[in-house]
């Protein structure tokens, strides 16, 4: 005979908190790309120099690029 289980069933257990990085704030989503390591280093340093995150700097650069190229098809 199997002993009765005490406590909650496994399906009822709360999921453990996710480890790793926090999700981006607000309505933002992660975008993974590959770049030259020297470019990445320069972006990170430039962001530090102006007290911003590398993500903020890259988003601004992407928006400017899109604006310059939106009428070219």
Domain locations in the chain as residue ranges: 45-73
End-to-end CA distance of the chain: 74
Q: With a cut of 70, which residues of the chain have pLDDT below it?
A: 3-18, 24, 72-73
Q: What is the pTM of this model?
A: 0.63
Residue whose C-alpha is closest to residue 62's, from 37, 38, 41, 35: 35
* 59's tokens: 């988003």
Q: What sign for the dihedral angle of Cα 32, 25, 67, 53? A: negative
């Amino acid at each position: 005979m199997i002993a009765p289980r005490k406590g909650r069933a496994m399906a009822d257990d709360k999921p453990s908190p996710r480890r790793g990085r926090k999700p981006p704030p607000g309505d933002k989503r992660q975008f993974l790309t590959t770049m030259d390591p020297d470019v990445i280093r320069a972006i990170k340093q430039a962001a530090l120099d102006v007290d911003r995150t590398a993500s903020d700097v890259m988003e601004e650069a992407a928006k400017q690029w899109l604006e310059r190229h939106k009428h070219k098809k």
